[in-house]
Amino acid sequence: MSEPRCADPAGTIGFFLCQAGQRLRGAAIEAPRLEARRLLAHVLGTTEEALLRDPRAAVPADKAQHFATLLARRVAHEPFAYLTGRVGFWTLELEVSPATLIPRADSESLIEAALEACPDKGAALRILDLGTGTGALLLAALSEYPAAHGVGVDCRTDAAALAARNAGRLGLAGRARFLAGDWAAALAGRFDLILTNPPYIESAAIPTLMPEVARHEPASALDGGADGLDAYRRIIADLPRLLAPRGVAVLELGAGQQAAVEALARAAGLTPEACRADLGGVPRALVLRDA
């Protein structure tokens, strides 16, 4: 069955929204009309509400070409955040790129867990973010603890550079440093709060993920090895030397991994204190302390 014809004249906002919605629907993109509006609003530098108020307004030729280019990328299931180069996390807007995992709302549960475990927002905490990516966890924590300073480490130099740009844009560069390295191998200090969202997908499961993830997000931020636990083994082994007295570590978990990661923590002499669920009810943020 063919798609209905677009009612608005060619070259107008309504026409482009109609055509884009049809193409996105044909590519099995969820909420195609919403994504079409969000994408055209981004290209035109306006709001979705403004688009709907004047659907017969003409779209300039250069903007139409840019929209067509981005639409083709989205039809190929490139993540929306990579098209716009921005994503919201906690109370922040962050730059993203294919060098980094796109921060998810699920990961905000780590900040919630940290705030519960370290309730004194005036504390001069030393914070470490392992596998920092965009810097999301560290920068969100620094936004909540104005006297804190922190370090973010990523295995990719381009990710560490992007995180530093985010810190600068958010006015947090004076309290955040970003390094490229092999987890905590080059670190010698101790930290009051350690945050990490490590790769935890089983290697064999990655091709079965939605194409936005499997084809486009960096494998280094996804692949947790045969059982999904390789990064946890590395990180947890270092936590006893990295945690300051009474320090707290908050680790993001994949679905069904709580028991296995808690066992690794206990074997390293750490005490699992709590596990906060995400909005979907999945145990997501595991809080560890020195035993």
- HSE value, Cβ hemisphere, 13 Å, CA-based, for 118: 28
The two beta strands, 149-154 and 176-180, are parallel
Cα-flanking dihedrals φ and ψ of residue 118, to 5°? -125, 75
- Note the pLDDT of residue 266: 97
Beta strands across the sheet bearing 126-130: 176-180, 149-154, 126-130, 191-196, 243-252, 283-290, 270-277
Task: Record the pTM.
Answer: 0.92
Q: pLDDT confidence of 10, banded at 50, 70, 90?
A: confident
β partners of residue 95? 86
Q: pLDDT confidence of 291, banded at 50, 70, 90?
A: low
- Note the pLDDT of residue 223: 95
Q: pLDDT confidence of 1, banded at 50, 70, 90?
A: very low
pLDDT tens-digit profile of 54-77? 999 999 999 999 999 999 999 999
pLDDT tens-digit profile of 97-122? 999 999 999 999 999 999 999 999 99
Cβ–Cβ < 8 Å for 90, 113: no
Buried-state track 77-114, b at ≥16 Cβ within 10 A, e below 16: bbbbbbbbeebebbebebbbbebbbbbeebbbbbbebb
Q: pLDDT confidence of 234, banded at 50, 70, 90?
A: very high
